Amino acid sequence: MTCSKKVLFKTLAAAALFSAQFGVHAAGMVPETSLLVIDEATHSGTINVKNTDSHPSLLYTDVVDLPDDKGLKLVTTQPVVRLEPGQTQAIALHPANQQTAGR
């Protein structure tokens, strides 16, 4: 094996191990459903997420708007929350203008 092939192999192996580490940590957060239904009357919804890991973890929630979607913009009321092992947290989503109006 030449020197450049060894460097490439080591780089790929390190990248694989590094990315596998993040996959293991994310596996502990399990949503109760794969679909969030938004209530037409209130334009909001709630989903429960459970920490199935044996250690506490931070749950970070982010709503990503698609560039071609001109519809309702949603935000979460608690974007970051600590979950103990086995704990379930309800994540509420509300229209972006509703959250800022209450401030």
Q: Among residues of the chain, what percentage have pLDDT more than 90? A: 24
pLDDT reported for residue 6: 59
**Residue owning tokens 């103990």:** 84
Q: How many residues are recorded in the chain?
A: 103
3-state DSSP assignment of residue 25: helix
- Between 3.90.580.10, 2.60.40.10, 3.50.50.60, 3.40.47.10, what CATH number should domain 28-101 receive? 2.60.40.10
- Angstrom distance (rounded) from CA 100 to CA 83: 26
Domain ranges of the chain: 28-101
**Residues 63-72 pLDDT 10s:** 888 888 777 7
Among 12-16, 23-27, 53-57, 84-88, the least confident range: 23-27
Q: For 55, list phi and psi in degrees, rounded to 5.
A: -135, 155
Identify whether the C-beta of residue 45 lies closer than 8 Å to the C-beta of residue 38: yes
Its sign, for the CA torsion 89, 97, 39, 31, is: negative
pLDDT reported for residue 68: 85
pLDDT reported for residue 84: 96
